[in-house]
């Protein structure tokens, strides 16, 4: 039963982002109007998250729909050498930055907790799948590389593969489109708030 729930959550995790972002988009309750702090901080955190996602995609590859064939080796280079879930860390950072842009600063800790818990459950499910696929090699990886807190001293250089930076950025275009859409809504929300 638990595995079934985690599988469904993993498969439909994008929909779990809708309720908190819908709340951020429509709520003006106790929003903070310090644009000179909120916007640079929020955008910086979003860009950090996007950078982590693009770098992770460069190393893992296979993120463009035409590249979804199963990889032949476990990726342990780049961000995957220092933390097991850099894509999800990027997601959490992007969601955090966007929640700051909502100007609902009092809700940001709850949003961070929500996004972390959501991604943590997805990771638990995916780790089981990867363990069954890669066996002892993945078990060694689990014991050497932390799930969430990066061990920066273990950074391994760039993986020599044919997945270029351009392809990595292209693979992230759907995510970037959603991010830009949300930012545009927050800009509009801020505009509406200023003309009240």
Domain CATH code at residue 179: 1.20.120.1630
Q: How much of the chain, in percent, has pLDDT values that exceed 90? A: 14
Is 85 within a domain?
A: yes
Give domain status of residue 196, yes or no.
Answer: no
Q: For residue 38, is it within any domain?
A: yes
Q: Which residue has tokens 């996004």? A: 115
pTM for the predicted model, two decimal places: 0.80
| pLDDT at residue number 164 | 73
Any domain includes 44: yes
**Domain coverage including residue 60:** 2-190
Tokens (6 digits) for 9: 């959550």
Instruction: List Cα–Cα distances, 36 to 42, 43, 54, 92, 104, in angstroms.
Output: 11, 11, 27, 23, 15
Residue 119 has pLDDT above 50, yes or no: yes
Is 195 within a domain? no
Residue 20 in this model has a pLDDT that exceeds 60 = yes
How large a percentage of the chain has pLDDT more than 70? 80
The three-point CA angle 70-71-74 to 5° equals 130
Total count of domains within the chain? 1
Compare 63 and 149 and report the one with higher pLDDT: 149
């Amino acid at each position: 039963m638990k595995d079934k729930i985690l599988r469904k959550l993993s498969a439909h995790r994008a929909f779990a982002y809708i309720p908190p972002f819908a709340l951020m988009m429509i709520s003006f309750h106790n929003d903070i109007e310090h644009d000179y702090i909120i916007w640079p901080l929020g955008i910086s955190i979003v860009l950090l998250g996007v950078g982590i996602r693009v770098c992770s995609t460069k190393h893992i590859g296979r993120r463009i729909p035409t590249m979804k064939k199963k990889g032949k080796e476990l990726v342990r280079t780049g961000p995957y050498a220092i933390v097991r879930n850099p894509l999800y860390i990027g997601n959490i950072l992007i969601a955090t930055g966007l929640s700051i842009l909502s100007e609902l600063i009092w809700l940001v800790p709850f949003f961070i907790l929500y996004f972390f818990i959501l991604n943590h459950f997805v990771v638990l499910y995916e780790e089981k799948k990867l363990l069954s696929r890669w066996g002892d090699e993945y078990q060694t990886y689990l014991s050497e590389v932390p799930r969430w807190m990066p061990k920066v001293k273990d950074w391994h250089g760039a993986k020599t593969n044919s997945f270029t930076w351009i392809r990595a950025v292209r693979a992230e275009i759907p995510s970037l489109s959603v991010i830009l859409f949300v930012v545009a809504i927050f800009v509009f929300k801020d505009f509406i708030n200023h003309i009240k």
